Amino acid sequence: MSKKLGVGGAFVERKNSFESWDKILGTEQTILDFWQWGFSDIQSNSLRGIFDEFLVGAAIGGLNQSRIEWDAFDLKY
Q: Where are the beta strands (DSSP E) in the chain?
A: 3-5, 11-13
CA-CA distances (angstroms) from residue 21 to 14, 33, 35?
19, 8, 11
Residues 43-75: pLDDT tens digits? Answer: 999 899 999 999 999 999 999 888 888 888 888
Model pTM score: 0.67
Tell me what pLDDT residue 12 has.
59
**Rg for the chain, CA atoms, rounded:** 14
